[in-house]
Amino acid sequence: MKFSVPPDSLAANPTLAVLGFKRQLVYHLHFWAFVAVAPLVMVQWQQSHYLLSAILVLFCVNALLVIAFLKLRGTYFLKGRLFPLLAVVSAAYSTHINGHAGLYWAYPAATALFFLLPLREAIASNSVFVVIMAVVSFLRFPEADFWRITFSLGLTCLFAMIFAWLVGKLQHELTRLATTDPLTGCLNRSQLADILNGQIQMRERYERVSSLVLLDLDYFKTINDQWGHLAGDRVLRELALRLRKRLRESDQLFRIGGEEFMLVLPETRQKDADALAHQLLTSISARPFLEDIKVTASASVAEVSKGETWSVWLNRADQALYQAKSQGRNQVVNAARPLPVIGRGAIDEADSA
């Protein structure tokens, strides 16, 4: 089964990879639940259990809608909330009227809940489910069966909860590993396009202006040559710490190359970003690294302009950084504003003049 996200972007963007995993899980659960439950609609109808048959029809229609919405729109129909509700109601009601034959469905229903709902919601829903099943079993079966059913269902929920919790933790850790640079703890390039695009949307929709700063250490190669690679690594780590100290919570720090860093500064005008870049360069050059390694850096600043793409924005900053390097380093250069786009009307006016 294929979703619309191309495999290349999955590899490049861990957020998409995690979303892709969740979608596949939801898709498969609904698909196989549909395959298992659809025949039961007829079976229950033939046994004159019309209400249960109707609930199962609803369950199947919901499963098909979830699958269709995922495939065609990439969204969850009703946030996937109907599956747990209908699965729980049909398992409890089926146990009430069919006895043990209905009870067997309670176990897969309880397990599926942990993979469809957020963990806390799943724990709350399953607690209610176990209580409902305990009441139904108490009324329907001998006392010994009531205890067996309640404990075995409770244990199934506990195991499913532990498994879902561990899978969630693993996903979180994998995303962290894939999005951060292990040496400095800064973000790596994997989410760069997404984050810059987010700032561009803020500019386009709400006129909220962000800036970015590119910062590159000067003559870092000589530090490696003179002090060794390990010392170079420690300089990079200390640099990331110094930069982070000056940033706001909402700012984001990327390491986008060997000794090149990028700062994304939401709601920050060029003039303020320029002031910050000067302060950062001072904080780098004023105090030696690892006690006696003197370091300077060059930086460029670019405020996002209306209508530009993230790559054009980054490219403007890159050009300015190149200029800072070629003008002698240890300085900040502001990126040139993009040329205004001349619309058809303006061209016509110019032609007729």
List interacting residues with ligand GTP (CB under 6 A).
Answer: 183, 216-221, 224, 229, 232-233, 236, 258-259, 325, 329
Calpha distance 83→110 (Å, rounded): 11
Minimal distance, residue 34 CB to ligand GTP, in Å: 51
- Listed residue (251, 155, 254, 241) closest to 199, CA to CA: 251
Minimal distance, residue 75 CB to ligand GTP, in Å: 41
- Listed residue (218, 227, 211) closest to 337, CA to CA: 211
AA identity, residue 90: S
Q: Which of 53/184 has CB closer to ligand GTP?
A: 184
- Which two three-digit tokens encode residue 146? 């009531």
Burial class (CB in 10 A: 0-12, 13-18, 19+), 113: buried
Minimal distance, residue 233 CB to ligand GTP, in Å: 5
Q: Which residues pair with 298 in a beta bridge?
A: 216
Q: Which of 212/235 has CB closer to ligand GTP?
A: 235
Asked whether 272 and 209 are in contact (CB, 8 A), the reply is no
Minimal distance, residue 251 CB to ligand GTP, in Å: 22
3-state DSSP assignment of residue 244: helix
Minimal distance, residue 209 CB to ligand GTP, in Å: 29
User: From edge to edge, which strands make up the β-sheet containing 332-334?
Assistant: 252-255, 260-265, 211-217, 297-303, 332-334
Q: Which of 189/329 has CB closer to ligand GTP?
A: 329
Residue facing ligand GTP at closest CB distance:
258
**Residues with active-site annotation:** 259
Asked whether 336 and 251 are in contact (CB, 8 A), the reply is no
Q: Which of 24/326 has CB closer to ligand GTP?
A: 326
Asked whether 112 and 33 are in contact (CB, 8 A), the reply is yes
Q: Which of 131/183 has CB closer to ligand GTP?
A: 183
- Which two three-digit tokens encode residue 167? 């899978």
Q: Which of 221/337 has CB closer to ligand GTP?
A: 221
Minimal distance, residue 235 CB to ligand GTP, in Å: 7
- Listed residue (304, 321, 300, 322) closest to 313, CA to CA: 304
Burial class (CB in 10 A: 0-12, 13-18, 19+), 299: buried
Q: Which of 156/224 has CB closer to ligand GTP?
A: 224
H or E segment and range at residue 255: strand 252-255
Chain position carrying tokens 């000589």: 222
Residue 44 φ then ψ, to 5°? -70, -35
- Which two three-digit tokens encode residue 132? 């409902």
